[in-house]
Amino acid sequence: MSKYKKLIFVCTGNTCRSPMAEVIFRNLDQESDILVLSRGLVVLFGEPVNPKTEVVLNKHDLEIKNHISEGLKDSDIDDRTLILTMTNAHKIRLLETYPNAKNVYTIKEYAGESGDVVDPYGGTLVDYEECYIELARLVKKTIYKLNEEYEREI
């Protein structure tokens, strides 16, 4: 599909936005061989996905099974890894913590937009639904861009 072998979505705790983006991507792109993961920047111990995230995904006929939050590690990153963060602050922190990381963008930046994906944590189901709708749009744009890059390489 592209020059990337791995795509990692990154948020704060890996219980809301990044796992949601991972599930959306896997559902929309079932043809490529890119490894899709989600990670957090602040994961003190493994936690299941937020229950409201699960409700919203189920509402859209998507499942997230046995997800336990996981922090980003050096071993997750190589030159063929695309890392998409939910906010610019995540991107800055990631680049400070992992100076050898390349191909790091906010998901909106990669999709040709600006701004951050708002964290629904602590919010209502409506907040989680709005986050889902935004991530679904951004993930679609990400897939289109990855396909375009792949087409240019051939």
Alpha helices in 3-124 (DSSP H): 17-28, 51-59, 88-97, 107-110
119 is catalytic: yes
In one letter, which amino acid is 25? F
Determine how many CB atoms are found less than 10 A away from the CB of residue 44.
9
Q: Which of 17, 29, 39, 131 is catalytic?
A: 17
Q: Two tokens at 144?
A: 């289109």
Specify which residues 11 forms β-bridges with: 40
The total number of residues shown for the chain amounts to 154
Q: Which of 26, 76, 116, 119 is catalytic?
A: 119
11 is catalytic: yes
Q: How many angstroms separate the first and last alpha carbons of the chain?
A: 10
Catalytic residue set: 11, 17, 119
